[in-house]
C-alpha cells in the first residue's frame, strides 16, 4: 500500500513510500538534503519495517528533536498501526 507522510520540524516537506507485507519500498523524500535522503532511501529499500524503525527512530539532526530519518521511522510506524 502507498503512503504519504508530511514530516514536522525538518527540511523535507513530504515522504512517500510503499509498505508491502511489512517491507518498505519506493521511499522518496521531497525537499531536504537531497544526497543524504537519496542515500537513506537506497539503504532502506526492501528493509523490514520493524528493522527500519529500530535503526532510524530517535536519530536527531543538529539541535532539532528529530530528523528526516526519524520522521521516516515515524511515518512507517504510523502506517503499520493503520
pLDDT for 12 beyond 90: yes
The pLDDT value recorded for residue 82 is 85
Task: Dump pLDDT digits (tens) for 29-57.
Answer: 999 999 999 999 999 999 999 999 999 99
Where does the pLDDT of residue 8 fall: very low under 50, low under 70, confident under 90, or very high at 90 and above? very high
* 31-35 CB contacts, 8 Å cutoff, 24+ apart: 32/68, 33/68
Tell me the domain boundaries of the chain: 2-81
Yes or no: say if 64 and 8 are a contact pair by the CB < 8 Å rule.
Answer: no
Task: Dump pLDDT digits (tens) for 55-68.
Answer: 999 999 999 999 99
Q: Are strands 2-5 and 23-31 parallel, antiparallel or unpaired?
A: unpaired
Name the 3-class secondary structure at 46: coil
In b/e form, how buried is each residue of 43-81, taking b as 16+ CB within 10 angstroms?
ebeebebeebbeebbeeebeeeebbbbbbbbbbbeebee
pLDDT over 70, % of the chain = 100
Amino acid at each position: 500500500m502507498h503512503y504519504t507522510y508530511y514530516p514536522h520540524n525538518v527540511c523535507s516537506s513530504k515522504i512517500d513510500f510503499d509498505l508491502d507485507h511489512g517491507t518498505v519500498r519506493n521511499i522518496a523524500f521531497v525537499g531536504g538534503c537531497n544526497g543524504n535522503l537519496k542515500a537513506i532511501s537506497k539503504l532502506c529499500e526492501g528493509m523490514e519495517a520493524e528493522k527500519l524503525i529500530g535503526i532510524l527512530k530517535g536519530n536527531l539532526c543538529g539541535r532539532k528533536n528529530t530528523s528526516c530519518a526519524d520522521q521516516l521511522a515515524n511515518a512507517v510506524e504510523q502506517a503499520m498501526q493503520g
